[in-house]
Amino acid sequence: MTWSFTVREFRYWLTNYRRTWRGSIYSSVLSPLLYLGAMGVGLGTLVDAHGTASLGGLSYLAFLAPGLLAAAAMQAAVEESTYPVLGSVKWRRTYLAAAASPLRPADLFHGHLLFTAMRLAMNSAIFLAVMAAFGAIESPWAIAALPAAVLTGLAFAAPIEAWAITVTKDTSFALVFRFGMIPLFLFSGTFFPITQLPAWLRPLAYITPLWHGVALCRSLTLGTASLGGSLAHVAYLAAVAAVSIAAGNRSYRRRLYV
């Protein structure tokens, strides 16, 4: 019953997405093109000219691309789990309508997470295809970077959704973007190895889900993944998502069953 309820809510988001999917596909293609073109190829040429010993002799493009893959998943997840969630209780109030149907608050939460996972999978597949076109993939293991990126996104979507349903004003989201997402984007090993960070700052990077996502995706597209290391990253990201889902089950119920 639970699964079928989740699917019913998922289908709501799907119906809704039918009107906007074209635009979203364009930006899913355009964004990796721009980033990989400007930073991977443009900036990468400069970096490579100075020698890439600190990157393990890799081209900057091959180093950067999987990091961006994970970071893009985070960005898409944050986008999908903030305004759409608050809007569902505050502006469009579709959650309030659905709460009067057999669906329970947790079903609404899970249905939207499932939809978010689908969006992440689409985005990441396109991203990987663009990476391949740029010649930024070094190993067939790159195919496993698709679920890895989705999991990275879910490790953000689940906690943020669990929180977003409790928010009353959208100004809170600006803080998440400015002081959460952007610092993570810049300092989680996407653009440079975190060994370049001061030693005291490194542990902070290790506890962020994005660093695990970046490290996992990178080891897969480069073909340097170890079983133990990959499992540790997956376990960490899955644990963040699982704990957040438990918290979200509760926060959705408290918000919708007053």
Partner 1 sequence: MPSAEPDIRSELADRPGSVTGVPAPDVLIHARGLEKSFGGAAAVAGIDFDLRRGEAFGFLGPNGAGKSSTMRMIGCVSPPSGGELTILGLDPVADGPAIRARLGVVPQEDTLDVELTVRENLIIYGRYFGLPRDVIAERAARLLEFVQLADRAADQVEPLSGGMKRRLTIARSLINEPEILLLDEPTTGLDPQARHAVWDRLYRLKQQGVTLVLTTHYMDEAEQLCDRLVVMDRGKIAAEGSPRDLIGRYSTPEVLELRFDPAEHDQAAGKLADAPAERVEVLADRVLLYTADGDAALAAARGLGLEPLTSLVRRSTLEDVFLRLTGRQLED
Provide the binding-site residues for partner 1, judged by CB under 8 A. 1, 4-5, 8-9, 11-12, 15-16, 19, 92-94, 96-104, 256-258
Tell me the C-alpha to C-alpha distance, in Å, between residue 95 and each of 9, 85, 91, 182. Answer: 10, 9, 10, 29
The CB-of-87 to partner 1 minimum distance in angstroms stands at: 10
Which CB, 88 or 208, lies closer to partner 1?
88
The CB-of-213 to partner 1 minimum distance in angstroms stands at: 32
* H-assigned helices in 165-194: 171-176, 182-187
Which CB, 96 or 235, lies closer to partner 1?
96
Q: By CB neighbour count within 10 A (0-12 exposed, 13-18 middle, 19+ buried), where does 142 fall?
A: buried
The CB-of-26 to partner 1 minimum distance in angstroms stands at: 20
Residue whose entry in the numeric block shows the structure tokens 């070094």? 138
Which CB, 11 or 178, lies closer to partner 1?
11
CA–CA separation, 124 and 104 (whole Å): 30
The CB-of-88 to partner 1 minimum distance in angstroms stands at: 10
Residue whose entry in the numeric block shows the structure tokens 């996992």? 216
Which CB, 96 or 133, lies closer to partner 1?
96
